[in-house]
Structure 1
Amino acid sequence: FRNCGMGGRHTEKEYPESNISMQEAMFLILGAEDSQEAQEMTVRLQNRLKEILETAEGCRVMGIGLEGGL
């Protein structure tokens, strides 16, 4: 498991303008050969998610949270 996105209670105090209604989302890698490959896959997925969010209208990435999510 890897935390990939955080919102809700994680962000409302520091970023009151945030309109993210979800608490958090996680990646669960099922096709990896081992834990190292799973970790590498989650890093690639999170980097791609960050690219998508940064180019989507009305979205912005506020950094990486304490639990590792965007």
Structure 2
Amino acid sequence: MDREIETGGGMSEEFKTGDRIQTPTGRTGVIIESDADFPNHCLIQFDSGQKQYVLRRILQRSVETKTKLRKK
């Protein structure tokens, strides 16, 4: 799952298994390992427990992740 991707904002961002993400609708979750090879999608386990494949280019890092990174 460690692939560099093009996000909707035109910025290149790399997502890895274990990264906290947020969808455009505000749902948050964690990227989990997938046996399937979908180069344009990530398997996400949302905070609700639901698992779903989501298009990589619409994902962004979770706001709480960005805040934690700034505090370090």
Report the TM-score, using the length of structure 2 for normalisation. Answer: 0.25
The structure in which a higher percent of residues are helix is 1
Report the TM-score, using the length of structure 1 for normalisation. Answer: 0.25
The structure in which a higher percent of residues are strand is 2
Specify the structure having the higher radius of gyration (Cα). 1
- Higher relative contact order, structure no. (Cα contacts within 8 Å, ≥ 6 residues apart): 1
